Structure 1
């Protein structure tokens, strides 16, 4: 079955372009589309920047600068948003997600926790660049303990582009965040009519609007023309939530990318630079050259936490098959790609979880 709202998407894209070109980027940093219907859910939109907030740049025909339009400006461009929810908007940062960092992550957590604790909201939408969206979603899913829907959304085309996908994506994210059936589903990512879970979603294409996929599990639902269609009931079991330090940064964890003719230099350099953990983006089933594996084993003996992942893009990394993990003191990331494996390892080390057996338990068995 094909789930599509392409006609709505075309209208919203045209409206978004007309809004930006007509009134510019003058929306205030904090704004809201208020509805008089007090029965509507309350949704907080937190802007971080990204392509969805991008503005055309004169460098080339398709060039743009990320994070130039505020979250309030994006909301104001879309008709009928106030029929979905009582919306408030705040700007956390205005950056491209290639510059996403621990401080922004901590700021997001602080604001969401305050809103939940004060019973201000029924849902959260976070506008975000696509490059590191999966990492932010996974991070939030490991530290926030709430049934309230938290939905990340972005776009592959800037707000000033012809055929911009941001307006439709943002409208759909609002539908998901404001829907009662979204409660208890953890952190979600919504783009291109599809709802993904934070653990499995990956960006898989550099430019396509359907770049986000969940290759090891599939999507959790679809945003259809008339309804949300979740494929399974809301999960009843919650994974562990990890404490954050009082202030950023998180402990340093480096990703070492495996390749042909690899030696020990990259691993040794990570240790010299103070890495507390190393994630191997290994070939195939998370493997690497003898020189690199030997260097990782030496690092593990020095107290560096080592986790094997894979550069392949899908599939599980298996324990004690090609590599003697028990003997060498390694953990494996199972289904987590290197970037998500790194996020989890940062949190584990920050919480004092460094024993290989305990680390493996956190990734799964």
Structure 2
């Protein structure tokens, strides 16, 4: 008799514990981590190897298992979308990732998405998603400058912070975010401005905020069109037109511009000096290529925030060129490629560059 009573009591307690655990899980936000590779999934031969290592080695389940504290802030699950170094990202990778993110944010059981990514092209992917995914739910990209095997590895804290941001309601509606080195940056603005250092990513106009011990502190809001307010939609894009970048410098020739055109570029971003300056030796080739229907976009390769003014340095109206505003060359390439899925009109392209 006593054994039966004790057994029933134990069963009842176990049931209460299960219900309590289920209740706690239901109260926590649900965050999906999409892994694509990069240094954050890298491994070196020795703990002293912070710059010499193999990227894209550690699968997403091990990344999550290495940070058990994640489960205290969200119900976390992972998907391995790619396992590559980000310098090998192609337009097809962008489209595949974008469509997966768009599908996830439509699910009622997903409150936020984190994307682990190599740092070399992280800023391009972040801006692409900013343009084409329609959602108010947080989408947070994260990477690391050191592999997890290195001393003072930054990946675990970066990933913890990214999940923390993605799980919070106050991150909603702010567009795609990049969370590294305790900063929360806009996917539109942020760029990798230095290698080897953990503070590699900066925005020329400053971060949106900070994340400290799981709490967000916001300082400014993005004002350019993004996500829910974007006219572009990943579900309507199956192919991205080819856009090339040609670098401006002293003694530059028109060789790179003509080669890009011959390879089928629909637009060429001129990564110019200063205010997107174009050397005299290059101007005739760019006029000729524009006459062939190729869009010419003047950008600047000034790292701290090149700001290209229309009809300054070059008569853009006369030549029917577009200026990239404050977008660096690689982000200008992303916007041009997305915009060209909808229009070939240079005036419309310029309007898009002002608004995004």
C-alpha deviation, 1:159, in angstroms = 1.1
In structure 2, the residue corresponding to 1:64 is in which secondary structure? coil
Query: In 2, are the aligned partners of 1:35 and 1:82 still within 8 Å (CA)?
Result: no
Residues 35 and 86 of structure 1 are in contact (CA less than 8 Å); yes or no, is this contact kept in structure 2?
A: no
Does residue 194 of structure 1 match 2:183? Answer: yes
CA distance in 2, matches of 1:223, 1:141: 20
**CA spacing shift, 1:267–1:332, aligned 2, 3 Å:** same
2:307 paired residue number: 316
Q: CA deviation at 1:37?
A: 2.1
Structure 2 SS opposite 1:103: helix
Output one character per residue of 1:72-109: Cα deviation in whole Å (capped at 9) or x when no partner: 21111013110110111000000011111122212212
What is the rounded CA distance, in whole Å, between the counterparts of 2:233 and 2:138 in structure 1? Answer: 20
- In the alignment, structure 1 residue 133 sits paired with structure 2 residue 122: yes
Tell me whether 1:45 sits opposite 2:9 in the alignment. Answer: no
RMSD across aligned positions (CA): 2.0
- Please report how far the alpha carbon of residue 315 of structure 1 lies from its aligned counterpart in structure 2 after TM superposition: 3.1
Contact 2:99-2:235 within 8 A present in 1 as well: no
TM-score normalised by the chain length of structure 1: 0.86
Q: In structure 2, the residue corresponding to 1:290 is in which secondary structure? A: coil
CA contact (8 A) 1:253 1:275 kept: yes
Q: How big is each residue's C-alpha offset from its partner over 1:48-79, in whole Å with a ceiling of 9 and x where there is no partner?
A: 00000001148x94521111111221111013
Deviating runs (4+, > 3 A) in structure 1?
232-239, 243-249
What CA deviation, in whole Å up to 9, does each residue of 1:213-265 have, x standing for no partner? 001x1000001236210113686965423244877541111100011111222
CA distance in 2, matches of 1:290, 1:190: 41
State the secondary structure of the residue aligned to 2:26.
Answer: coil
2:94 is equivalent to residue 98 of structure 1 = no
- The secondary structure found in structure 1 opposite 2:92 is helix
Equivalent residue runs for 1:324-363 within 5 Å: 324-351=315-342, 353-363=343-353
1:282 alignment partner in structure 2:
272
TM-score normalized with structure 2 length: 0.88
In structure 1, the partner of 2:141 is 152
Work out the CA distance in 1 between the residues paired with 2:69 and 2:288: 59
| Aligned ranges 1:158-169 → 2 under 5 Å | 158-169=147-158
Aligned mates of 1:325, 1:356 — CA distance in 2: 11
Q: Is the 8 A contact 2:277 2:314 kept in 1?
A: yes
Asked which structure has the greater CA Rg, the reply is: 2
Distance in 2 between residues matched to 1:114 and 1:244, nearest whole Å: 10
Unaligned runs of 5+ in 2: 1-21
Question: Unaligned regions of 5+ residues in structure 1, if any?
Answer: 1-33
User: Does the CA-based 8 Å contact 1:154-1:166 persist in structure 2?
Assistant: yes
Size of the aligned set, in residue pairs, is 329
The superposition leaves residues 97-154 of structure 1 with CA deviations (integer Å, 9 ceiling, x where unpaired) of 1111122212212222222223230000000011100000000000001000000000
Q: What SS does the corresponding residue of 2:68 show, helix, strand or coil?
A: coil
2:25 is paired with a residue whose SS is coil
1:61 and 1:82, CA in 2 relative to 1: closer, same or farther beyond 3 A?
A: closer
CA distance in structure 1 between the aligned counterparts of 2:352 and 2:222, rounded to whole angstroms: 22
What CA deviation, in whole Å up to 9, does each residue of 1:258-284 have, x standing for no partner?
Answer: 111112222111111111110000011
CA distance, structure 2, for counterparts of residue 315 and residue 265 of structure 1: 24
Partner of 2:60: 71
Cα distance in structure 2, aligned partners of 1:292 and 1:271: 14
